[in-house]
Amino acid sequence: MDRGLLIVAHGSRANEAKNVVIEVVNKIQSLNKYKSVKAGFMEFDFPDIPASIKQFVEEGIFDIIVAPLFFV
């Protein structure tokens, strides 16, 4: 079964913060450990978590690992 990885981040009004999350997602995707890697944001940014999960389902991926990524 294909497995996806959802990176959950808070989201920010600062574009730089979203860019860092996207860089992490792209780096993990390049490792080819998961069929698909996506970000889901809790606030401020898109895609939000439900939209990302919907994308996985549309791709036929139902086994999804969720990992938090929060910056302090």
Residue in 5, 7, 10, 56 annotated catalytic: 10
Is 31 catalytic? The answer is no
C-alpha distances in angstroms, 14 versus 5, 41, 52?
24, 13, 21
C-beta atoms surrounding 12 within 10 Å: 16
Give the total residue count for the chain.
72
- Provide the CA 60 distance to its chain's centre, in angstroms: 16
Q: Which residues does the annotation mark as catalytic?
A: 10
